Protein backbone atom coordinates (compact mmCIF):
# COMPACT_ATOMS: atom_id res chain seq x y z
CA UNK A 1 0.00 0.00 0.00
CA UNK A 2 1.42 3.39 -1.02
CA UNK A 3 1.80 5.68 1.99
CA UNK A 4 0.73 9.32 1.96
CA UNK A 5 4.34 10.42 2.50
CA UNK A 6 5.67 8.41 -0.42
CA UNK A 7 2.83 9.55 -2.70
CA UNK A 8 3.57 13.18 -1.80
CA UNK A 9 7.30 12.75 -2.44
CA UNK A 10 6.61 11.37 -5.91
CA UNK A 11 4.14 14.14 -6.68
CA UNK A 12 6.58 16.83 -5.52
CA UNK A 13 9.23 15.45 -7.90
CA UNK A 14 6.74 15.64 -10.76
CA UNK A 15 5.69 19.18 -9.82
CA UNK A 16 9.32 20.36 -9.88
CA UNK A 17 9.78 18.95 -13.35
CA UNK A 18 6.47 20.36 -14.59
CA UNK A 19 7.53 23.84 -13.48
CA UNK A 20 10.92 23.34 -15.09
CA UNK A 21 9.24 22.42 -18.40
CA UNK A 22 6.75 25.29 -18.07
CA UNK A 23 3.68 23.07 -17.84
CA UNK A 24 0.93 24.13 -15.44
CA UNK A 25 -0.40 20.69 -14.63
CA UNK A 26 -0.27 17.01 -15.50
CA UNK A 27 -3.29 14.96 -16.51
CA UNK A 28 -2.21 11.35 -16.04
CA UNK A 29 -4.49 8.75 -17.57
CA UNK A 30 -2.33 5.66 -18.13
CA UNK A 31 -3.35 3.32 -15.29
CA UNK A 32 0.17 2.44 -14.18
CA UNK A 33 1.23 6.10 -14.06
CA UNK A 34 -1.84 6.81 -11.92
CA UNK A 35 -0.87 3.87 -9.72
CA UNK A 36 2.67 5.15 -9.26
CA UNK A 37 1.58 8.54 -7.97
CA UNK A 38 -1.78 7.69 -6.37
CA UNK A 39 -1.45 4.07 -5.22
CA UNK A 40 -4.55 2.81 -7.00
CA UNK A 41 -4.97 1.10 -10.35
CA UNK A 42 -8.64 1.72 -10.71
CA UNK A 43 -10.15 3.32 -13.80
CA UNK A 44 -9.20 6.84 -12.82
CA UNK A 45 -7.48 10.01 -13.99
CA UNK A 46 -4.97 11.91 -11.86
CA UNK A 47 -4.69 15.70 -12.04
CA UNK A 48 -1.49 17.18 -10.59
CA UNK A 49 -1.09 20.97 -10.78
CA UNK A 50 2.50 22.25 -10.82
CA UNK A 51 1.51 24.31 -7.78
CA UNK A 52 -1.38 22.94 -5.77
CA UNK A 53 -3.04 19.80 -4.60
CA UNK A 54 -3.66 16.68 -6.69
CA UNK A 55 -7.11 15.34 -7.49
CA UNK A 56 -8.16 11.83 -8.47
CA UNK A 57 -11.21 11.49 -10.73
CA UNK A 58 -12.57 7.95 -10.64
CA UNK A 59 -14.72 6.18 -13.18
CA UNK A 60 -14.67 2.75 -11.50
CA UNK A 61 -14.35 1.65 -8.72
CA UNK A 62 -14.75 4.77 -6.58
CA UNK A 63 -15.07 2.76 -3.34
CA UNK A 64 -11.91 0.83 -4.03
CA UNK A 65 -9.94 3.92 -5.08
CA UNK A 66 -10.94 5.52 -1.76
CA UNK A 67 -9.64 2.48 0.14
CA UNK A 68 -6.30 2.46 -1.64
CA UNK A 69 -5.39 6.04 -2.53
CA UNK A 70 -3.76 8.34 0.07
CA UNK A 71 -4.66 11.51 -1.88
CA UNK A 72 -7.25 13.62 -0.04
CA UNK A 73 -9.29 14.84 -3.00
CA UNK A 74 -10.96 11.86 -4.65
CA UNK A 75 -14.09 12.47 -6.74
CA UNK A 76 -16.39 10.65 -9.12
CA UNK A 77 -15.41 11.25 -12.77
CA UNK A 78 -17.28 14.34 -13.98
CA UNK A 79 -19.49 14.33 -17.06
CA UNK A 80 -17.86 15.78 -20.18
CA UNK A 81 -19.98 18.94 -19.74
CA UNK A 82 -18.88 19.42 -16.14
CA UNK A 83 -15.29 18.52 -16.81
CA UNK A 84 -13.88 21.97 -17.56
CA UNK A 85 -15.49 23.49 -14.48
CA UNK A 86 -13.42 21.20 -12.24
CA UNK A 87 -10.16 22.84 -13.33
CA UNK A 88 -9.27 26.50 -13.07
CA UNK A 89 -8.51 28.16 -16.41
CA UNK A 90 -5.14 29.32 -15.10
CA UNK A 91 -3.88 25.85 -15.97
CA UNK A 92 -3.39 26.62 -19.66
CA UNK A 93 -0.61 24.15 -20.46
CA UNK A 94 -1.48 20.57 -19.53
CA UNK A 95 0.98 17.67 -19.70
CA UNK A 96 0.02 14.19 -20.88
CA UNK A 97 2.13 11.11 -21.62
CA UNK A 98 1.96 11.20 -25.42
CA UNK A 99 3.86 7.90 -25.66
CA UNK A 100 0.98 5.92 -24.19
CA UNK A 101 -2.21 7.97 -24.66
CA UNK A 102 -4.31 7.08 -27.72
CA UNK A 103 -5.46 9.82 -30.08
CA UNK A 104 -9.13 9.34 -29.13
CA UNK A 105 -8.35 9.88 -25.45
CA UNK A 106 -6.36 12.99 -26.30
CA UNK A 107 -9.25 14.30 -28.39
CA UNK A 108 -11.68 13.66 -25.56
CA UNK A 109 -9.65 15.74 -23.11
CA UNK A 110 -8.94 18.53 -25.59
CA UNK A 111 -12.71 18.85 -26.07
CA UNK A 112 -13.38 18.57 -22.33
CA UNK A 113 -10.77 21.27 -21.57
CA UNK A 114 -11.14 23.78 -24.39
CA UNK A 115 -8.54 26.49 -24.81
CA UNK A 116 -5.72 24.55 -23.13
CA UNK A 117 -2.60 23.42 -24.87
CA UNK A 118 -1.42 19.87 -24.27
CA UNK A 119 2.26 19.02 -24.04
CA UNK A 120 4.16 15.74 -23.88
CA UNK A 121 5.48 14.81 -20.44
CA UNK A 122 6.28 11.15 -21.21
CA UNK A 123 9.99 11.51 -20.56
CA UNK A 124 9.45 13.42 -17.31
CA UNK A 125 7.19 10.72 -15.94
CA UNK A 126 9.41 7.89 -17.14
CA UNK A 127 12.51 9.58 -15.72
CA UNK A 128 10.91 10.06 -12.28
CA UNK A 129 9.68 6.48 -12.24
CA UNK A 130 13.14 5.16 -13.17
CA UNK A 131 14.65 6.17 -9.81
CA UNK A 132 13.37 3.83 -7.12
CA UNK A 133 12.66 4.67 -3.50
CA UNK A 134 13.72 2.50 -0.57
CA UNK A 135 10.15 1.14 -0.45
CA UNK A 136 10.27 0.22 -4.14
CA UNK A 137 13.71 -1.38 -3.85
CA UNK A 138 12.39 -3.57 -1.05
CA UNK A 139 9.48 -4.70 -3.25
CA UNK A 140 11.86 -5.33 -6.15
CA UNK A 141 14.11 -7.46 -3.92
CA UNK A 142 11.07 -9.46 -2.83
CA UNK A 143 10.08 -10.02 -6.46
CA UNK A 144 13.60 -11.12 -7.36
CA UNK A 145 13.75 -13.44 -4.36
CA UNK A 146 10.46 -15.16 -5.24
CA UNK A 147 11.49 -15.43 -8.87
CA UNK A 148 14.87 -16.90 -7.89
CA UNK A 149 13.16 -19.53 -5.71
CA UNK A 150 11.17 -20.77 -8.68
CA UNK A 151 14.30 -20.84 -10.88
CA UNK A 152 16.04 -22.88 -8.18
CA UNK A 153 13.34 -25.55 -8.52
CA UNK A 154 13.73 -26.08 -12.27
CA UNK A 155 15.89 -29.25 -11.92
CA UNK A 156 12.90 -30.93 -10.23
CA UNK A 157 10.82 -30.88 -13.41
CA UNK A 158 13.01 -30.26 -16.47
CA UNK A 159 13.28 -33.41 -18.60
CA UNK A 160 14.23 -34.18 -22.18
CA UNK A 161 11.19 -34.68 -24.40
CA UNK A 162 9.06 -32.03 -22.72
CA UNK A 163 7.74 -29.39 -25.09
CA UNK A 164 9.00 -25.85 -24.53
CA UNK A 165 5.35 -25.14 -23.72
CA UNK A 166 5.37 -27.73 -20.92
CA UNK A 167 8.46 -26.16 -19.39
CA UNK A 168 6.87 -22.72 -19.59
CA UNK A 169 3.63 -24.02 -18.02
CA UNK A 170 5.60 -25.49 -15.08
CA UNK A 171 7.40 -22.17 -14.51
CA UNK A 172 4.16 -20.19 -14.79
CA UNK A 173 2.32 -22.52 -12.41
CA UNK A 174 5.01 -22.24 -9.73
CA UNK A 175 5.30 -18.48 -10.13
CA UNK A 176 1.52 -18.05 -9.88
CA UNK A 177 1.30 -20.16 -6.73
CA UNK A 178 4.03 -17.93 -5.25
CA UNK A 179 1.83 -14.87 -5.87
CA UNK A 180 2.93 -13.78 -9.34
CA UNK A 181 0.32 -11.35 -10.60
CA UNK A 182 0.44 -12.62 -14.16
CA UNK A 183 -0.02 -9.62 -16.35
CA UNK A 184 3.39 -8.16 -17.36
CA UNK A 185 3.03 -4.50 -18.17
CA UNK A 186 4.96 -3.01 -21.07
CA UNK A 187 4.87 0.60 -22.18
CA UNK A 188 6.11 0.35 -25.77
CA UNK A 189 3.28 0.54 -28.29
CA UNK A 190 3.74 -2.65 -30.26
CA UNK A 191 5.19 -4.94 -27.59
CA UNK A 192 3.44 -7.58 -25.53
CA UNK A 193 4.66 -10.40 -23.33
CA UNK A 194 3.20 -13.38 -21.55
CA UNK A 195 5.23 -14.22 -18.42
CA UNK A 196 8.53 -14.86 -20.20
CA UNK A 197 10.39 -17.27 -22.43
CA UNK A 198 11.08 -20.97 -22.10
CA UNK A 199 12.95 -21.69 -25.31
CA UNK A 200 15.49 -24.14 -26.64
CA UNK A 201 15.65 -24.79 -30.38
CA UNK A 202 12.55 -22.57 -30.74
CA UNK A 203 14.62 -19.65 -29.51
CA UNK A 204 16.71 -19.63 -32.69
CA UNK A 205 14.04 -17.71 -34.53
CA UNK A 206 13.38 -14.16 -35.62
CA UNK A 207 10.65 -12.20 -33.91
CA UNK A 208 8.89 -8.93 -33.23
CA UNK A 209 10.03 -8.67 -29.64
CA UNK A 210 12.49 -5.88 -28.82
CA UNK A 211 14.82 -8.27 -27.05
CA UNK A 212 17.63 -10.63 -27.98
CA UNK A 213 15.34 -13.67 -27.99
CA UNK A 214 11.69 -13.81 -29.09
CA UNK A 215 10.90 -17.52 -29.27
CA UNK A 216 8.79 -19.26 -31.87
CA UNK A 217 5.54 -19.17 -29.88
CA UNK A 218 2.46 -21.29 -30.52
CA UNK A 219 1.12 -19.65 -33.69
CA UNK A 220 1.58 -16.68 -35.99
CA UNK A 221 -0.97 -14.87 -33.79
CA UNK A 222 1.21 -15.31 -30.70
CA UNK A 223 4.71 -15.57 -32.16
CA UNK A 224 6.57 -15.27 -28.89
CA UNK A 225 7.78 -17.47 -26.06
CA UNK A 226 7.52 -21.23 -25.80
CA UNK A 227 6.72 -23.39 -28.83
CA UNK A 228 5.64 -27.00 -29.34
CA UNK A 229 9.30 -27.97 -30.00
CA UNK A 230 10.66 -30.60 -27.65
CA UNK A 231 13.63 -30.21 -25.33
CA UNK A 232 16.57 -32.27 -26.62
CA UNK A 233 19.60 -33.54 -24.75
CA UNK A 234 22.83 -31.54 -25.17
CA UNK A 235 20.82 -28.43 -26.17
CA UNK A 236 20.78 -25.24 -24.12
CA UNK A 237 17.42 -24.36 -22.54
CA UNK A 238 16.99 -20.65 -21.88
CA UNK A 239 14.48 -19.58 -19.23
CA UNK A 240 13.85 -15.82 -19.13
CA UNK A 241 11.00 -14.84 -16.81
CA UNK A 242 9.59 -11.66 -15.37
CA UNK A 243 8.59 -11.93 -11.71
CA UNK A 244 5.65 -9.61 -10.99
CA UNK A 245 4.75 -9.22 -7.31
CA UNK A 246 2.93 -6.19 -5.87
CA UNK A 247 3.26 -4.73 -9.33
CA UNK A 248 7.09 -4.74 -9.31
CA UNK A 249 9.01 -6.66 -11.95
CA UNK A 250 12.33 -8.43 -11.53
CA UNK A 251 13.78 -9.97 -14.69
CA UNK A 252 16.02 -13.05 -14.72
CA UNK A 253 17.49 -15.55 -17.18
CA UNK A 254 19.20 -18.84 -16.42
CA UNK A 255 20.51 -21.65 -18.63
CA UNK A 256 19.87 -25.36 -18.26
CA UNK A 257 21.39 -28.26 -20.18
CA UNK A 258 20.38 -31.89 -20.06
CA UNK A 259 23.65 -33.66 -20.88
CA UNK A 260 26.63 -31.70 -22.18
CA UNK A 261 27.10 -28.39 -23.97
CA UNK A 262 28.77 -27.55 -27.28
CA UNK A 263 32.07 -25.74 -26.51
CA UNK A 264 31.14 -22.78 -28.73
CA UNK A 265 28.00 -22.24 -26.66
CA UNK A 266 29.97 -22.61 -23.42
CA UNK A 267 32.40 -20.00 -24.75
CA UNK A 268 29.52 -17.66 -25.58
CA UNK A 269 28.11 -18.13 -22.09
CA UNK A 270 31.47 -17.28 -20.52
CA UNK A 271 31.60 -14.12 -22.65
CA UNK A 272 28.09 -13.23 -21.50
CA UNK A 273 29.22 -13.55 -17.87
CA UNK A 274 32.22 -11.32 -18.59
CA UNK A 275 30.01 -8.71 -20.22
CA UNK A 276 27.58 -8.82 -17.31
CA UNK A 277 30.44 -8.32 -14.82
CA UNK A 278 31.93 -5.47 -16.84
CA UNK A 279 28.53 -3.72 -16.98
CA UNK A 280 27.82 -4.42 -13.30
CA UNK A 281 31.08 -2.85 -12.17
CA UNK A 282 30.41 0.22 -14.30
CA UNK A 283 26.79 0.80 -13.21
CA UNK A 284 27.45 3.93 -11.18
CA UNK A 285 25.67 7.30 -11.16
CA UNK A 286 26.89 9.52 -14.00
CA UNK A 287 27.86 6.73 -16.37
CA UNK A 288 26.26 6.95 -19.84
CA UNK A 289 23.95 4.04 -20.79
CA UNK A 290 25.02 4.08 -24.44
CA UNK A 291 28.68 3.69 -23.48
CA UNK A 292 27.91 0.53 -21.53
CA UNK A 293 26.18 -0.95 -24.57
CA UNK A 294 29.08 -0.03 -26.84
CA UNK A 295 31.59 -1.53 -24.39
CA UNK A 296 29.50 -4.70 -24.18
CA UNK A 297 29.26 -4.98 -27.97
CA UNK A 298 33.02 -4.50 -28.19
CA UNK A 299 33.65 -7.38 -25.77
CA UNK A 300 31.37 -9.58 -27.87
CA UNK A 301 33.17 -8.51 -31.02
CA UNK A 302 36.60 -9.23 -29.55
CA UNK A 303 35.38 -12.69 -28.55
CA UNK A 304 34.41 -13.37 -32.17
CA UNK A 305 30.70 -13.25 -31.36
CA UNK A 306 29.76 -9.80 -32.66
CA UNK A 307 27.36 -11.02 -35.31
CA UNK A 308 25.18 -12.99 -32.89
CA UNK A 309 25.28 -10.67 -29.87
CA UNK A 310 21.77 -9.73 -28.68
CA UNK A 311 19.90 -11.55 -31.40
CA UNK A 312 19.85 -13.49 -34.65
CA UNK A 313 22.42 -12.26 -37.15
CA UNK A 314 20.63 -9.44 -39.00
CA UNK A 315 18.00 -8.97 -36.27
CA UNK A 316 20.19 -7.91 -33.40
CA UNK A 317 18.78 -5.75 -30.62
CA UNK A 318 20.89 -2.66 -29.96
CA UNK A 319 20.90 -2.77 -26.16
CA UNK A 320 22.30 -4.82 -23.32
CA UNK A 321 20.05 -3.75 -20.44
CA UNK A 322 16.70 -2.12 -19.68
CA UNK A 323 15.11 -0.47 -16.68
CA UNK A 324 12.46 -2.42 -14.77
CA UNK A 325 9.91 -1.46 -12.15
CA UNK A 326 6.15 -1.31 -12.61
CA UNK A 327 6.81 -1.89 -16.31
CA UNK A 328 9.22 -4.25 -18.03
CA UNK A 329 10.57 -1.55 -20.34
CA UNK A 330 11.39 1.36 -18.09
CA UNK A 331 14.25 3.84 -18.26
CA UNK A 332 17.18 3.77 -18.41
CA UNK A 333 18.10 1.68 -21.42
CA UNK A 334 21.70 0.58 -21.94
CA UNK A 335 21.41 1.17 -25.66
CA UNK A 336 22.52 3.26 -28.60
CA UNK A 337 21.03 6.73 -28.38
CA UNK A 338 20.57 6.76 -24.61
CA UNK A 339 23.02 9.43 -23.52
CA UNK A 340 21.54 10.46 -20.18
CA UNK A 341 23.74 9.66 -17.18
CA UNK A 342 22.67 6.82 -14.90
CA UNK A 343 21.12 7.87 -11.58
CA UNK A 344 21.45 6.38 -8.10
CA UNK A 345 18.80 3.73 -7.43
CA UNK A 346 17.76 3.15 -10.99
CA UNK A 347 17.09 -0.55 -11.49
CA UNK A 348 18.34 -2.28 -14.63
CA UNK A 349 18.03 -5.81 -15.98
CA UNK A 350 21.33 -6.62 -17.71
CA UNK A 351 20.97 -9.42 -20.24
CA UNK A 352 23.92 -10.18 -22.52
CA UNK A 353 22.79 -13.00 -24.81
CA UNK A 354 23.82 -14.73 -28.01
CA UNK A 355 21.73 -16.40 -30.69
CA UNK A 356 23.91 -18.80 -32.69
CA UNK A 357 22.12 -20.26 -35.72
CA UNK A 358 22.32 -24.05 -35.81
CA UNK A 359 23.52 -24.13 -32.21
CA UNK A 360 21.15 -22.39 -29.82
CA UNK A 361 20.44 -19.40 -27.59
CA UNK A 362 22.51 -18.68 -24.52
CA UNK A 363 23.11 -15.89 -22.03
CA UNK A 364 22.45 -14.54 -18.57
CA UNK A 365 20.23 -11.93 -16.97
CA UNK A 366 20.11 -10.35 -13.56
CA UNK A 367 18.51 -7.22 -12.22
CA UNK A 368 20.81 -4.66 -10.55
CA UNK A 369 20.46 -1.41 -8.62
CA UNK A 370 22.71 1.48 -9.71
CA UNK A 371 24.95 2.48 -6.78
CA UNK A 372 28.26 4.25 -6.07
CA UNK A 373 29.86 0.79 -5.78
CA UNK A 374 28.48 -0.38 -9.16
CA UNK A 375 25.44 -2.58 -9.69
CA UNK A 376 23.97 -4.32 -6.64
CA UNK A 377 22.27 -7.62 -7.44
CA UNK A 378 18.63 -7.97 -6.45
CA UNK A 379 19.07 -11.69 -5.80
CA UNK A 380 21.97 -14.06 -5.18
CA UNK A 381 20.97 -17.09 -7.28
CA UNK A 382 24.17 -18.48 -8.87
CA UNK A 383 24.70 -17.57 -12.54
CA UNK A 384 26.24 -20.87 -13.63
CA UNK A 385 24.65 -23.13 -16.22
CA UNK A 386 22.73 -25.92 -14.48
CA UNK A 387 23.67 -29.29 -15.97
CA UNK A 388 21.20 -32.16 -15.52
CA UNK A 389 21.73 -35.85 -16.22
CA UNK A 390 20.42 -37.06 -19.56
**45-74 binders of its own copies (CB under 8 A):** 59-64, 68
Gyration radius of the chain over CA positions? 22
The contact mask relative to its own copies for 195-234 (x = CB under 8 A, - = no) is x---------xxxx-x---x--xxxxxxx-x--x------
| Bridge partners for 60 per DSSP | 43
Minimum CB distance to its own copies, residue 259 (Å): 25
User: What's the closest the beta carbon of residue 302 comes to its own copies, in angstroms?
Assistant: 26
Closest CB to its own copies among 41 and 75? 41
CB of 230 vs its own copies, minimal distance in Å: 14
Q: What angle do CA 365, 366, 369 make, to 5 degrees?
A: 145
CB-CB contact of 151 with 381 (8 Å): yes
Nearest one of 20, 21, 67 to 41, comparing CA atoms: 67
Q: How many residues form the binding site for its own copies (CB under 8 A)?
A: 75
Smallest distance from its own copies to CB 52, Å: 25
Site for its own copies in 83-142 (CB under 8 A): 96, 98-107, 120, 122
Euclidean distance between CA atoms 203 and 201, whole angstroms: 5
Contact flag: residue 75 with its own copies (CB under 8 A): no
Question: What single string gives the DSSP state of each residue in 338-371?
Answer: --SBP-TTBEEEE--EEEETTTEEEE-BEEEE--
Residue 22 makes contact with its own copies by CB under 8 A: no
Residues within window 299-358 making contact with its own copies, judged by CB under 8 A: 312, 314-315, 326
Residue 135 backbone phi and psi in degrees, to 5: -60, -45
Assess 172 for contact with its own copies (CB under 8 A). yes
Which stretch in 37-45, 83-91, 258-266, 349-357 sits in contact with its own copies by CB under 8 A?
37-45
Residue 244 in the binding site for its own copies (CB under 8 A): yes
Per CB under 8 A, 156 contacts its own copies: no
CA distance 101 to 29: 7
Task: Write each residue from 2 to 21 as x if it is in contact with its own copies (CB under 8 A), else as -, in one continuous string.
Answer: x-------------------
How far is residue 364 from each of residues 212, 250, 375, measured CA to CA in Å?
Answer: 11, 14, 15
Amino acid sequence: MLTQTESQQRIVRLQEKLRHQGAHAALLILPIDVYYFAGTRQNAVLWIPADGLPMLLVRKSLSRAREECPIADIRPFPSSKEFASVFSEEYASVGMTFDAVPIQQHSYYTRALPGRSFVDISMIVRDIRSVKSTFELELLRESASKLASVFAGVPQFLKAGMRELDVSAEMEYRLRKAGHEGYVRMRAFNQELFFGLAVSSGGVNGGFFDGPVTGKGLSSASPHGASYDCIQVNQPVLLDFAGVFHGYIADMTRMFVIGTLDPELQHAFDVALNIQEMVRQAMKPGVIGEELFLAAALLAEKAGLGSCFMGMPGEQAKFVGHGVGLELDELPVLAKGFTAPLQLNQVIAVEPKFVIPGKGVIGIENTFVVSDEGGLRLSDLPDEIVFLEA
